[in-house]
Amino acid sequence: MRIVFITGLSGSGKSTAIRALEDEGFFCIDNLPVKLIPTFVELVQNSRDQIRDVVLGMDIRGRDFLQGSEEVIQDLRATGHRLEVLFFDTTDEVLIRRFSETRRRHPALAGASVAEAIHFEREYLAGLRRAATRIVDTSELNVHQLKELVLAYIRGEEGTRRLTVHVQSFGFRYGVPMDSDLVVDVRFLPNPFFNDSLKKFSGLNRKVRMFVLEQPVTREFLERYTGLLDVLIPGYQREGKSYLTISVGCTGGRHRSVAIAEELKRYFAGSPVELRVTHRDIQKGC
């Protein structure tokens, strides 16, 4: 298995890193007592779930971790597991500001000032810091940059997970999909419903698509909207968004919205996203 220990100073971003890795498919446990780690690893190996990536969060809250951590790490490596220790660090000034902003009590020393607790924690974790396979300094990182850095390290050359884009057509008659991030109303486009030769077909039909897409207003709309997506998609990726749902709606969800959703499918073809296209209301009649 690949086992990643996430440790370091309180307030340095460990929880953010653990959540990011959990979203990546890692099996994550925070603050597991060190004596239980060998048993946990054995149970995971023998489970039917085929778990291969594990994250264990350890910090000052588990005081016994340092006392037995070196032995546990050596034993795990000796059994052939790929083991990494990521130590999260930050300057004292940044830590003090973060605790001041959140108004949380520092977990290292009860009754002490934040500065005193930070000093104590640094000394207490000094040995673990020296043993780390990578030190992550989060002093100048925001939440999104931290997630991107951790995922890029974990995934190596693959970088962060690709943005998943779901393009779905729908009919306003049946309600706007609740999972929508972006809603596109294409009811301003000429409607094939009023063309007797096209009415019975859906937007998947070539003649219906050509009727919709060859309209001058449609061509102008697609040019402007895909230009907007050229700005939005990279921006969402930089901010760490992993899933985007674009809902394209017309009156009944059968003609115009389907044709536009299929055209957006062509737009995304070859781009670095994972694409899914569905037509929610295409079978609900005209």
* Residues in CB range of 228: below 8 A, 6 or more apart: none
If one compares 211 and 82, the residue with the highest pLDDT of the two is: 211
Give the closest residue to 173 by CA, choosing from 250, 260, 282, 261.
250
157 pLDDT band (50/70/90 cuts)?
Answer: very low
139 pLDDT band (50/70/90 cuts)?
Answer: confident
Residue with tokens 């301003």: 188
What's the pLDDT score for residue 245?
92
> Tens of pLDDT along 75-94?
888 888 888 889 999 888 88
Average pLDDT over residues 217-233: 95
Domain 2-158 has CATH 3.40.50.300: yes
Query: Average model confidence (pLDDT) for the chain?
Result: 86
Start and end residues for every CATH 3.40.50.300 domain found in the chain: 2-158
Q: Which of 122-131, 166-175, 207-216 has the lowest mean pLDDT?
A: 122-131
Q: Which of 37-51, 65-79, 111-125, 222-236 has the lowest mean pLDDT?
A: 65-79
Predicted TM-score (pTM) of this structure: 0.56
Average pLDDT over residues 178-184: 91
Q: List, in sequence order, the alpha helices (H) in the chain.
A: 14-23, 37-46, 64-78, 92-102, 114-124, 126-131, 143-155, 206-213, 216-238, 256-268
Q: What percent of the chain has pLDDT over 70?
A: 94
What's the pLDDT score for residue 48?
74
Q: Is the pLDDT of residue 68 over 70?
A: no
What's the pLDDT score for residue 223?
96
Q: Is the pLDDT of residue 158 over 50?
A: no
Tell me how far apart the alpha carbons of residues 35 and 65 are, in angstroms, rounded to a whole number.
Answer: 8
What's the pLDDT score for residue 172?
95
224 pLDDT band (50/70/90 cuts)?
Answer: very high
Q: Is the pLDDT of residue 266 over 50?
A: yes
